[in-house]
Amino acid sequence: MKESINIYGIRSIIEAINNQISIDKVWLLKSQKSTLFNHLFSLISTNKISYSFIPKEGFEKFSNKNFQGAVARISPIKIIDFEKKLELILENNKNPLIVLLDGITDTRNFGAIIRTAAATNADTIVISTNNSAPINDDVVKTSAGGVFKTTISKVDNLKDAVYLLKANNIDIIALTEKAENLIYEYKLNKPICVLLGSENTGISKGLLKIIDKKAKIPMNNDNDSLNVSVACGVVLYEINRQRQ
């Protein structure tokens, strides 16, 4: 059985409630007063969620977190098998947008990517069973509730995901500094998957070999680079721009 996850902050908990995430309990700072806090408390009461008011001392174990006077314990985030998820996407969406992550192990980058994917209506984020950041409280917090608005899929081997996407006529574009073409040179208003690699090693050579299209983001200097979550945002919003 998977362990529960703690989420921190009033806004994150509000997003969880609004997206009907199962919440076991909420702990609230006794002395807290604000419009946002009142809204959270109203949602807790309306949805009959178990809660407790505790003094500031009770939050000391969360001192390294930006908890904003509110902590909730939720059930583990559901992860779906990618092949099953793709079937659902193709049944309901003629123009899917998928994000494929290779070796993103930093929880804050992962959370930020989830946040952007949710904001740009990506259908799913695909990660591998191994070599991927865990979906923990840091990911939930950094995603600013995005983890409740998009789905995360898993596959044992990312190459399997690539072959499955190709078989279903979904273009895959690998974002890499080694590419010759800029991302703006591609037509992105069609079924598409964006492949992103880790900041340290980038996309693995084995994956790059089976990807036909590669793109980069223009930089003023060759030595410049973007954080992977920022790069993800640039690409996903360009896709949204072209689709509009």
Domain extents in the chain: 5-74, 79-243
How does residue 223 score in pLDDT terms, banded at 50, 70 and 90?
A: low
3-state secondary structure of 70: strand
DSSP string computed for 162-207: HHHHHHTT-EEEEE-TT-SSBGGGS--SSSEEEEEEBTTTBS-HHH
Q: Give kind and range of the element (H or E) at residue 236.
A: helix 228-243
Q: Which helix (H) or strand (E) holds 149?
A: none
Name the DSSP letter for residue 82.
Answer: H
Residue 41 one-letter amino acid: F
pLDDT band at 3 (very low <50, low <70, confident <90, very high): low
Which span out of 45-49, 130-134, 158-162 was modeled with the highest average pLDDT? 158-162
Q: For 140-182, what is each residue's pLDDT tens digit?
A: 889 988 998 999 999 999 999 999 999 999 999 999 988 999 9
What is the distance between the alpha carbons of residues 82 and 77, in angstroms, rounded to a whole number? 15
Give the C-alpha separation, 54 to 56, whole Å.
7
Tokens of 42: 């109203």
In the three-class reduction of DSSP (H, G, I as helix; E, B as strand; rest coil), residue 223 is classed as coil
Exposure string for 60-99, b = 16+ CB within 10 A, e = fewer: eeeeebebbbbbbbbeebebeebeebbeebeeeeeebbbb
CATH superfamily membership of 5-74: Ribosomal protein L30/S12 (3.30.1330.30)
Evaluate whether the domain defined by 79-243 bears CATH number 3.40.1280.10. yes
| Mean pLDDT, all residues of the chain | 90
Q: pTM of the full predicted structure?
A: 0.82
